[in-house]
Every structure is written in structure tokens, then in C-alpha cells.
Amino acid sequence: MSALGQLLLSGVPGPVLDADSAAAFRRIQPGGFILFGRNIQSPAQLRKLLDDLRDVSKVEPIITIDQEGGRVSRLRLIGHEPPNANQLRDKNDPELISRHGRITGELLRMFGFNFDLCPVLDISFDDDADNSLRGRCYGHDAAQVIRNAALFNDGMRATGVLSCGKHFPGYSRAPLDAHHELPVISLTREELEAHELSVFRHFSKQVDAMMIGHGLFPGLGAGDLCSSLSSKIIRDLLNTDLGFEGLVLTDDLDMGAILNHHGLEETIRLAVTAGNDMAMICHRVDCVEEALRHLHQVPAADLERAEQKVAQFKRKLVAPDVWDENEFHRRDLEVRQLRADTLGEDAADQQSPENGKRSPVEVY
């Protein structure tokens, strides 16, 4: 078994774990898996896929997904769509947000997920901005995000599902979508401290992991290095200044912000030496084994640090609930009721327009 595989968070090719993928995962032993719409066809199929991923893993794997609400809710492909963060924000009912956190955690545990890539901690300065955050932010200012995201975070973590704050140090004022190209966020440290960083600072002891976004922040002293590959952003700012001690993982390294500027070898080396504990490769699953080889070029001290952090995180993982399809449907009806209570009965069975479409670019 390669212990270095534990530093990789891998996508999965399809809805069934085929023989070739199973053999590759047995060799690589990734530390975790992330699932997308391409992996989801039915409730029973999804649970079997997660059970199969556990079967090929010698160490209990992290199994994660983006289950936020609204359009970034993978499970809406087989059930009801929860309200999104903007809708819950505008309803302004703390009980609904807490309930959303609890329902999300209970639904994920039914399938065997132990980690959810949320809450989004970005601020919506403009609900119509084209930077991938549309509908995903809990507030128009730092105080509102802190209040609402904490309600969701506490509700979900109480079920045993671990949480991830994203997208550090903040996509809030990114002028474009990092899925396509590297955004330059031209703000001073003081401007960021007053807004974006104040939220992440508040959550530094309240989330289990932090996802590092792909952005260029000249005001944070990172030079021409993307935030997810910068030790100034991760080691100096997140770890030392904000005091974050949990798991640190990159956003997807298959996004245009990375692919357009770095090869895989350089990306893996920079990601781990900058302070990431896990490198996420969501879509180029055939590159995960190559990424494992590149990890051998990373200094031993950085690898040891990352391996320890992953092991520390895994000690908090909880076992899946016993599979019961009737219980899944009961929990899914709670999602519908939450939607009705937030948006009205007429909207309870509606979904976002892109529901059911497995886009090659899925936001996270």
C-alpha cells in the first residue's frame, strides 16, 4: 500500500466502480473520493458505489460531495432540491437554516458520505456576479454570513458529517469564474481583513477542513502564485495567522485557473509544499496515478506533515447509517418540506433549471 495515496482526493469515473477503476484505486489507495452528478443514478446504486469504494480502501476513506443547496446539490438528481443559501438568507429564519444542516447530514449519512464540502463562507456583494457563487452565499456582509453559515455548520456537524469552509481566502470579489481562468482579486490586506478574512477567521475553529480557492491575491504577498499553491496564503495566513489546525485541501486541480498555467507535476509539488494536506483531482481520474508518482518528488517533511493531518482528520470519521431505501425517502421528504417552508408550497416540487443535467463543469 502506498501511504502517499492518502494525500489524494480522487473523482470516480461513473456510476459503477468498473474493474479497471477498482484495480487502480487498490494500487493508489487514495485518501478519499469525491462524487458528482455523473456518479448518481438511483438511491440504491449510489449506496452500492460508496460501499464498493470502501471495499477497495485499506484505510477508511473520506467520501465527499458538494451538497450545499439549490443548483449545487448533487443529490437532487435522485430527490428533492434543498433551498439555496441565498433563499435561506432572505427568508431570515434561523430554524430553517439549522434544520437544513441537520437534514443534509442525515441524508448524506444514509448513503455513506462522511464529509460535505460546505459551508460556503464567501460573501455575496452582488447576487448576480458571474464568479460561480450565484445563489451560494449566506449573507451580504461578514456578520450575516457568520450568523447563517454557523447555523448550517453546527446542524450538519451534529449528525457526525464533517464540514469544510470554502473558498479561502475568498472568491467574493473575484471578477471571473476560476473554473475557466485564474481570477485576480486586487484587494489590499486591509480590505480583505474587513470582509472576507473576518469570516474565515471566525470559522477557523469551527470547521473540520478548509478548501483553498484558486485566485491571485497580489495584496497578500503571494506574488504570481495562485492562492491554492502559495505558502504565503496557506502556511503564513491560514495556519499561522488564523490558527487553523484542521485539514487543508485544494479546490479541484482540474479547473482552468490551474490547468491553464501549470502542469501536473508542478501543481502537485507546489500544492503540498504550500501547505495543502490533500490534492483534489475531480475529473481527470486517469491522472491520479501520475499524481501519486509526482508526490515522490515532494520533500519528506511536507509529506509527513500532510500524512499526519489526513490521519488526524480520519479519526473523526463516522460510519454510514444502515441502508434503508424507505428511510432515504422519509429523509428526502424532509428536504421537500424544508423547501416548502422556505419558498412556499407552490415551489416545493420545483428544481433549478439545470436539474438533471450533468455538465462537464460542475461548480464546487
State the Cα–Cα distance between residues 261 and 256, nearest whole angstrom: 8
104-113, 118-127, 171-180, 340-349: which range is least confident on average?
Answer: 171-180
* Percent of the residues in the chain that have a pLDDT greater than 70, as a whole number: 96
Q: Residue 347: is it exposed, middle or buried by C-beta count within 10 angstroms (0-12/13-18/19+)? A: middle
pLDDT for 363 equals 54
C-alpha distances (whole Å) from 195 to each of 90, 149, 316 are: 20, 15, 31
Q: Which grid cell sits at 330?
A: 422519509
The predicted model gives 68-73 an average pLDDT of: 95
Task: Please compute Rg for the chain using Cα positions.
Answer: 19
Give tens-digit pLDDT for 156-212.
999 999 999 999 999 888 877 778 778 889 999 999 999 999 999 999 999 999 999
67, pLDDT greater than 50:
yes
Give tens-digit pLDDT for 261-278.
778 999 999 999 999 999
How does residue 355 score in pLDDT terms, banded at 50, 70 and 90? very low
Give tens-digit pLDDT for 1-58.
459 999 999 999 999 999 999 999 999 999 999 999 999 999 999 999 999 999 999 9
356, pLDDT greater than 50:
no
Nearest alpha-carbon partner for 33 in 18, 223, 51 = 51
Domain ranges of the chain: 3-347
Nearest alpha-carbon partner for 144 in 111, 118, 121, 115 = 121
Q: Hunting for cell 438533471 — which residue is that?
A: 356
pLDDT for 178 equals 78
359, pLDDT greater than 50:
no
Give tens-digit pLDDT for 83-110.
999 999 999 999 999 999 999 999 999 9
Which phi and psi (to 5°) does residue 242 adopt? -80, -15
Q: Which grid cell sits at 110?
A: 444514509
C-alpha distances (whole Å) from 139 to each of 66, 98, 131, 147, 290 are: 19, 15, 16, 9, 40
User: Which residues, in sequence order, are bridge partners of residue 163?
Assistant: 116
Helix (H, G, I), strand (E, B) or coil at 349: coil
Give tens-digit pLDDT for 232-253.
999 999 999 999 999 999 998 8
> Which residue type is seen at 159?
T
- CATH code matching the domain that covers 3-347, chosen among 3.40.50.300, 3.40.1280.10, 3.20.20.300, 3.30.499.10: 3.20.20.300
The reported pTM is 0.94
